[in-house]
């Protein structure tokens, strides 16, 4: 299977992760205006699974190092398969709840609460589980990125009319806690040495497939509930899904594939970078998403000087925080 051998390559893959995680949601903007997120999410989940299988039978099954995908599945112990599946379920619940929180209370509240908690908790949990790198520098970088996320939310808050909602705040809080934990389950299912994998545990490519299965399987529960009992708007049914255009379905699967590539690169990089640094760099994607809004979708055109200043400070804190995370190794 394909394995990276240097820390610099790991950092490069983590940068790709940031770009993928910060960009996949733009695909929803390419669907028709009436195509609801609940319907989009089915194709997003399917795209993740298809991309995981493609990677498992290509990069995960070639080369002389490590253990091929099918051989790895055959020797995997149930508890490690279960851990990867749980990671998918936890991520899926967190992702759906975050979208619901944004809809209820707005990005200005949901994002700093949800993603801020996910970033801090995720790095802390993963570092305690697999200590790797200088903790002071790691958490210094996390702190700066968290400030950048808060500034981003503040800027969105100045242009949003959505009011505060206790319900939305609580949903964002739960989402952030779950989002900070999912990566640990996937990491714990995997071998520590990718080139010489120990028996019973999963190689990264196998872990990612079971992670993707967990996402799609749990969508049968979570997304079905979201369709018939939405947090906002009218209920939709499966008839609505099958009435979608080929473009709508293809774009949804593309969004899932883009997100999954980011996840795969983060996991592949984790052996050399450490899970805390790999996860922390990936969660900087929030600011990447903000850059799409600023420079591509022109969401802040016409904003006052104070807002423009906050956005520039956000970008500076983000770059500095990323630099500290990279240097922490």
Which stretches of the chain are DSSP H helices?
7-21, 37-57, 69-75, 78-105, 107-129, 135-158, 166-179, 182-189, 204-228, 238-242, 246-273, 275-282, 285-291, 305-327
SS3 190: strand
Predicted confidence (pLDDT) per residue in 192-236, tens digit = 999 999 999 999 999 999 999 999 999 999 999 999 999 888 999
Q: What percent of the chain has pLDDT over 70?
A: 98
Q: What is the pTM of this model?
A: 0.92
CA distance 290 to 98: 16
pLDDT of residue 113: 83
> Is 27:258 a contact under the CB 8 Å cutoff?
yes
Predicted confidence (pLDDT) per residue in 135-188, tens digit = 999 999 999 999 988 888 888 777 766 556 788 889 989 999 999 999 999 999
Tokens representing 62 are 């070639």
């Amino acid at each position: 299977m394909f394995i990276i051998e240097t820390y610099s390559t790991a950092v490069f893959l983590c940068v790709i992760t940031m770009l993928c995680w910060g960009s996949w949601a733009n695909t929803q903007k390419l669907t028709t205006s009436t195509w609801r997120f609940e319907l989009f999410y089915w194709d997003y989940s399917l795209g993740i699974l298809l991309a995981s299988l493609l990677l498992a039978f290509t990069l995960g099954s070639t080369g002389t190092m490590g253990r091929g995908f099918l051989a790895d599945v055959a020797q995997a112990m149930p508890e490690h398969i279960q851990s990867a599946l749980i990671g998918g379920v936890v991520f899926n619940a967190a992702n759906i709840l975050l979208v619901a929180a944004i809809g209820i209370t707005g990005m200005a509240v949901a994002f700093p609460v949800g993603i801020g908690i996910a970033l801090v908790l995720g790095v802390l949990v993963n570092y305690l589980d697999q200590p790797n790198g200088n903790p002071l520098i790691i958490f210094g970088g996390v702190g700066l990125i968290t400030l950048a996320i808060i500034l981003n939310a503040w800027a969105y808050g100045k242009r949003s009319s959505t009011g505060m909602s206790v319900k939305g705040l609580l949903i964002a809080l739960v989402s952030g806690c779950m989002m900070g934990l999912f990566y640990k389950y996937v990491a714990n299912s995997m071998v520590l040495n990718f080139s010489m994998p120990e028996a019973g545990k999963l190689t990264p490519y196998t872990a990612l497939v079971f992670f993707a299965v967990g996402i799609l399987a749990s969508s049968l529960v979570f997304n079905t509930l979201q369709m018939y009992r939405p947090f906002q708007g009218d209920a939709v049914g499966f008839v609505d899904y099958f009435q979608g255009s080929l473009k709508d379905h293809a774009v949804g699967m593309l969004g899932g594939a883009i997100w999954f590539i980011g996840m795969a690169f983060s996991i592949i990089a984790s052996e050399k970078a450490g899970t805390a640094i790999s996860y922390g760099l990936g969660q900087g994607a929030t600011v990447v998403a903000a850059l799409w809004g600023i420079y591509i979708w022109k969401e802040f055109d016409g904003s006052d000087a104070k807002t423009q200043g906050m956005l520039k400070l956000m970008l500076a804190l983000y770059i500095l925080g990323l630099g500290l995370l990279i240097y922490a190794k």
